[in-house]
Amino acid sequence: MDGLAVSVVPKERAGMAMGIFSTTRVAGEGVALAVVAAMLAGLVQSRLRGADLVDGAQALPEAAQRLAMGDLTHAATVLPGIDQALLVHGYGDAFRILLYILSAITVLSSGMVFGLLTHRPAREAASEHALQPWPDAKQNSGPAS
């Protein structure tokens, strides 16, 4: 992709094209990482919501965010009445569900890319039809009377 981004612009603008391409790629990765982390925190929170939390119901969002970041010790201090094994189990369930969601998105995206890459552009298909004579053109091309 880097070579393609640079090859389509004049040589004097190759640095600018590379900078724009790299910035867009890194920004996209950052947004995707933030979305996945938010999804994981939401899934952890939904998994822990069913647990019996004595005093931690209001601290559950913070604990879920800490667990999504991998900070088990701080999540356990935020929710002192909950067993660490339950936190680990809730995180594991949430991560498994997240992997299923991401796998489904990957399969759907690859199917869409495959469909778009195998589909001929309309302009190309129209030019092929324009060059070919109609099937009955030879029959009607007799001398005019």
pLDDT in tens, 67-98: 999 888 888 888 877 888 888 998 999 999 99
The reply to whether the predicted model has a pTM over 0.85 is no
DSSP SS3 for 111? helix
Residue 54 has pLDDT above 90, yes or no: no
Phi, psi of 133 (to 5 degrees): -75, 160
- Say which amino acid occupies 14: A
Rounded Cα–Cα distance for residues 51 and 93 (Å): 13
pLDDT level of residue 11 (50, 70, 90 thresholds): confident
Residue 135 predicted with pLDDT over 90: no
**What average pLDDT does the segment 24-43 reach?**
94
CA 20, CA 28: separation in Å to the nearest integer? Answer: 12
As a whole number, mean pLDDT of residues 7-22 equals 83
Instruction: Return the DSSP state at 120.
Output: P
54, 101, 102, 113, 115 from 108: Cα distances, Å: 42, 11, 10, 9, 11
Give me 30's structure tokens. 């950052």
